Amino acid sequence: MVRSLTVHSLVDALVDSLRERILTSDIQAGAPLTEMEVARDYDVARPTARTAIERLVAAGLLHRGAHKSARVPVLGIAEIRDMYFARGCLEAETLRRLAATRAVPDAARDAVGELASVTDSGSLPALVEPDIRFHRELVDALASPRLSRLHLAVMGEMRLCMAQVQAHRLLRPEEIVAEHELILERVAAGDGEGAAAAGVAHLDRACTELTHHLDQPSGADR
């Protein structure tokens, strides 16, 4: 079967399609994704397939070992907890510093509004991308290129975790919106420790729900 693409740029469209297939587990964790397979499935040239795969590797949605095919990472519970821990350290300090000047980025508010407009029946990218953008805008507001790069690297892998949280309906969009709004309220109030605590609690709850779900013998949805 030749898959169809909505073309804005061919590589962008291919990346978007592969990203959604990874996030929805149509491409399974641990499965190899080769240039030949992508070129065949989408009827594109191998250099186009190679570029799309490399962009997904750079984004953390695929991993590639030396001289090996790219694969969707298989994330264990310890790795998931470590990712949430690392992210929490970065974001907690970000929130403390934003609260010191009561700086609430407009783009972060916009991301919350976009997420609030999405229902449970929305596509995974529609649920995950505004959530990611909310946190990215907070970090980027500190205008530290190095901190932004560190956070971007963590969030690449985090997409897989956040997609699983949404795919299994472990947190509803309205719950995420409420937690995001609380974070912004505390930043606007100048409550640095309160903002940091709200941010860490938000991440801890998602981590707990996801690891509990994955630790069940059947992994079945509730």
Out of 6-20, 140-154, 203-217, pick the least confident. 6-20
Instruction: Identify residue 180 by its one-letter amino acid code.
Output: H
Q: Would you mind telling me the total number of residues written for the chain in this entry?
A: 222
Task: Supply the pLDDT for residue 126.
Answer: 77
Tokens of 155: 């969030």
Which SS3 state, helix, strand or coil, does residue 118 take?
A: coil
Residue 190 has pLDDT above 90, yes or no: yes
Confidence of residue 220 (pLDDT cuts 50, 70, 90): very low
Of 162 and 211, more confident: 211
Instruction: Identify residue 11 by its one-letter amino acid code.
Output: V
Beta-carbon-side half-sphere exposure of residue 9 (alpha carbons within 13 Å): 7
Q: Degrees (nearest 5) of the Cα angle 216, 210, 33?
A: 95
The gap between the terminal CA atoms of the chain, to the nearest Å, is 33
- What residue has token string 């010191």? 100
Out of 1-5, 6-10, 16-20, 45-49, pick the least confident. 1-5
pTM over 0.85: no
List the one residue out of 64, 1, 8 whose CA is nearest residue 37.
Answer: 1
